[in-house]
Chain A
Amino acid sequence: MSLLELKNVTLKFGGVTAVNDLTMSVEEGQVFALVGPNGAGKSTVFNMISRFYTPVSGSITFDGEDLLQRKPDRVPQLGIARTFQNIELFERATVLQNLLVGRHRHRRTTMLEEMFFVGRSWNEERAHRHAVEEVIEFLDLQAYRDKYIMGLPYGVRKVVELARALASKPRLLLLDEPASGLSVEETQDMRWWIDDIRRQMGITVLMVEHDMGLVGKVSDRVLALDGGKKLAEGTAAEVQKDPKVIQAYLGTGAISKTASAGGERV
């Protein structure tokens, strides 16, 4: 059974059909990429998995659990963590505190214990701190540990957001454009990290990404969307060669030219 399954999912905003009869499944241990032009519905798919949106029809299951039965804040309990396209960090907190919020799903202390810092509080905090430190080490964030988010450059924020998602020790990681706005080197780093996240941590990754270079290197499976519809699905190379995908990106006239160029680019 696959880890995440969307079956015939349709989402409408008034008259606009943002996602139309989408069926996809992400296997455990895969890196799965969603590609498509702007407005294709990629982020909308993410927001449905996070339960910010509710589809009008279809089903979404995670490891056999019906996601549609859950409120947004109950989704992370299953081990689903995400990042946002336009970085949504807690600005007036340090990097460390941000990552500790990522641990929230592992909270076991009660309010009373926390008010007086008794009972399990100390050991729980140490455990959270330890888990967070592992992520800090993994993503090389040591230099920024006690810095406030509001003073950090964009590239670092991007990494902090990834770190916060990882701190929750998820089974499925949703990355919304992890490489957007990053420099060439930063994108390289991101590529190694995504590889390591899958290999070392065994976390399944579902990502939306425009950088086809990155997608081609890290993903096992790619799904191209346009206008909320599935255009093609397969390996990165297969999808890039697909005439419908080329048409969606470049228009009809481009098919013959790109085909002769060997389908290098989309």
Chain B
Amino acid sequence: MRFHFKTSYDHDIRLFPDWWTFFVYGALLAVMVALPFLMDSFFLSEVTNVMIWAVAGLGLMLLTGTTGQVSLGHSAFMALGCYLCANLMFAGLPFLIAFPLAGILTGLIGALIAVPVLRLHGVYLAIATLALAIITEDLIVILRQWTGGVNGMFAPDIMIFGTEVNRWVNPEYWYYMTLAIVVIVTLIYVNLLRSPLGRAFAAVRDSEVSAQAMGIDVSRTKTIAFGLSCGITGLGGALMGFFAGAFNNETFTFLLAIQLLMMIVVGGMGFIHGAFLGAIVIAFLPQGLSIVTDNVRVLNIPGLEFGAFGAILIFFIIFEPMGLYGRWLKIRTWFELFPFARRDMFRRQKSYLKTERVR
């Protein structure tokens, strides 16, 4: 077992608690950087796709996993981010400015929408956000002038410092660009988690009453979380649209939002790792399924993909509510404490006593 011997407060604050973790993530980053030299362009674009899903998933994770507010409407903000980025670029802004600006604008619009929407709780919040997603599908069709309507829109060329980043010409550039964005977004997420705002998010998730009693403005904190979440998801949406090359109302249906939610549940709610693990599942599942259906003719049913998604989701909710990352944590703890790990170590202690809701 690894002992984590702390000698200063910085051990609790810094990004990597010990050298081991530092090396693990350093090695991971090194592998990611070296990946274009190890893989052909098909698999490279698959990995790019995983990272794009991860960006969008991190956005939703911040809201649902960390702050505890369900959203079934994040496809709306993916669309918003994508169309904003494209339109800003058509207006003449370079990608390096248009892309972050699209994220910030999506975040601000998201925060504005959050003010009325976040007055709702639980299932009502889910319904309201689902409505947002459905409205957005229609809005894309109606606002033809900016979105190209059902005909869709071709993503403008991305130029970074005079170099064109094109998926077909130089997939490794696309890959590195996405990798950089993923790393930055993840760093922002981790930084938030180790500072007062991130702790306030978790406080709001676990007990609104006592968050308030600790001086946290609950509705403000939720609104900030929603805004940040929308901003990050918007970036993911922009990447997704640009990666596809062309997008219309069909790209951003509400099914996308549900897939996104499923992704973070499967990955592990509330963990940054969960967003990545979920992204791997969701990005490789269609490929895996098509390999299966190619070999087993009987399974060649239309709509199988969504059926499989649903089955996996149900499986995880029943058997592993903590998701893939939760399963990994359990396995790790089992080995670390061997032979003292107990089965119920991760079981949540039920407390039936709850302070009466003051509302």
Contact = CB atoms under 8 A, between A and B. Distances in A.
A72 B213 contact: yes
Interface in B215-237: 215-218, 224
B143 interface: no
A229 B210 CA distance: 27
A41 to B, nearest CB: 14
A130 interface: yes
Interface stretch (B119-127, B281-289, B296-304, B351-359): B351-359
Nearest to A105: B215
Contacts of B351: 86-87
A117 B188 CA distance: 8
A133 B7 CA distance: 13
A50 to B, nearest CB: 6
A228 interface: no
Interface stretch (B20-28, B37-45, B191-199, B240-248): B191-199
Contacts of B192: 114-115
Contacts of A92: 202, 205-206, 270
B5 interface: no
A53 B10 CA distance: 41
Contacts of B187: 116
A101 interface: yes
Contacts of A201: none
B200 A104 contact: yes
A103 B199 CA distance: 10
A84 B206 CA distance: 14
Contacts of A97: 199, 202
A93 B202 contact: yes
Among B195, B213, B358, max chain A CB count under 10 A is at B213
Interface in B68-110: none
Q: Do most interface residues of chain B lie in helix, strand or loop, or is the interface mixed?
A: helix
A130 B354 contact: no
A126 B207 CA distance: 26
B13 A116 contact: no
B352 to A, nearest CB: 9
A189 B188 CA distance: 42
A137 interface: no
Contacts of B191: 114-117, 121
B229 to A, nearest CB: 13
Contacts of A85: 355
Interface in A77-105: 77, 81-82, 84-93, 96-97, 100-105
Contact of B13 (A84, A107, A126): A126
A150 B187 CA distance: 27
A91 B198 contact: no
Interface string B125-143: 0000000000000000000
A77 B195 CA distance: 19
A73 interface: yes
B217 A73 contact: yes
A107 B203 CA distance: 15
A73 B349 contact: no
A90 B202 contact: yes
A79 to B, nearest CB: 10
Nearest to B4: A146
A261 interface: no
Interface string A40-79: 0000000100101100000000000000000111111100
A175 to B, nearest CB: 13
A71 B220 CA distance: 13
A117 B194 CA distance: 9
Contacts of A130: 9
Contacts of B150: none
A151 interface: yes
A90 B345 contact: no
Interface in A163-215: 164, 168
A52 B208 CA distance: 12
B195 A121 contact: yes
A66 B25 CA distance: 52
Contacts of B210: 84, 88-90
Interface string B16-37: 0000000000000000000000
B348 interface: yes
Nearest to A52: B358
Contact of B203 (A82, A90, A129): A90
Contact of A151 (B203, B211, B349): B349
B170 interface: no
Interface string B327-359: 000000000000000000100110101110010
Given A73-B217, A117-B194, A168-B214, A111 B224 contact: yes
B184 to A, nearest CB: 10
A103 B213 contact: no
A143 to B, nearest CB: 14
B12 interface: yes
Interface in B137-195: 187-188, 191-192, 194-195
A88 B9 contact: no
A88 to B, nearest CB: 4
7 contacts: A72-B213, A76-B214, A92-B202, A103-B196, A105-B214, A107-B196, A164-B214
Interface of B: 9-10, 12-13, 187-188, 191-192, 194-200, 202-203, 205-207, 209-218, 224, 270, 345, 348-349, 351, 353-355, 358
For the complex of A and B, list the 6 residue pairs with the smallest distance between their C-beta atoms, beginning with the closest: A76-B215, A114-B195, A88-B210, A90-B206, A105-B215, A86-B353
Given A85-B355, A121-B195, 17 more contacts: A52-B358, A53-B358, A73-B212, A73-B218, A75-B215, A84-B209, A84-B213, A88-B354, A90-B202, A91-B207, A97-B199, A107-B196, A114-B192, A115-B191, A116-B188, A117-B194, A125-B9
